[in-house]
Amino acid sequence: MRLLARSRGLAAGPGARHLSARKRPRKGSKAWLDRHVNDGFVKAAQKQGWRSRAAFKLLEMHEKHGLLAPGATIVELGCAPGGWTQVAASKLGPGGLVVGIDLLEVAALSGGNSRIIQGDFTEAEAQEKLRGLLAGREVDLVLSDMAPNTTGDKFGDHARSLDLVYEVLEFAAPLFAQRKDRGLEATVLAKYFQGRDEEELREFAKDHFTTVKNLKPKASRGESVERFLLCRGRTEAV
């Protein structure tokens, strides 16, 4: 996939996690702790055994868009702490496989349909490990809940988040290139922050996928500018 010209080096590493582009209380501060402790999705995640509240975002998007088909093969980029990986594994059944990749160490899940790679998904070592785990399986879905480390500069944070999505699309392209029609559409779901250049990202995605949508699940905090780009059905341009 040919990428649009963009500023390189903006993106944080793939281990960067769920941060809002808006200025927010520092983790460990009383304001952050109060919000975290009183968050309904945090409480529900703890009660139901999910590793993070983000699990509910993927659950909702799956329920509305049928993302996690039984028997599918999924690659998740930036998978720490493993909430999305848990959700995917719970929906795929014994014939499916989800492989998570992150710079951070992520504890393995129980069950035999998930694997974890510690590494940088843009580097050859992690990609070689992925090929070994896939063992010829065709990838149906690439997930990314990655976000850059935020700085308080809204446009800079927005630009870095888009750069991550382009990296995800570039990563997905060769995985989809040799894919045969198995009744499942090649799909990418990736997080970004709203901003002035998001329409350029959508137009780029429309050149490579037949369906492109923007999603904001209810589990995303109301003040958050995070959105999810859903791309389905690769075109010959991919």
**pLDDT tens-digit map of 19-33:** 222 333 455 555 544
Annotation marks residue 191 as catalytic: yes
Averaged pLDDT of the chain: 84
The residue among 115, 145, 147, 143 whose CA lies nearest residue 131 is 115
Residue 139 confidence (pLDDT): 96
Which listed residue (30, 129, 191, 206) is catalytic? 191
Residue type present at position 24: R
User: Is the distance from CB of 106 to CB of 74 less than 8 angstroms?
Assistant: no
pLDDT tens digit sequence for 60-74:
999 999 999 999 999
Instruction: For the chain, list the domains and their CATH numbers.
Output: 52-234 (3.40.50.150)
Helix, strand, or coil (residue 205): helix
pLDDT at residue 192 tops 90: yes
The residue among 89, 6, 10 whose CA lies nearest residue 55 is 89
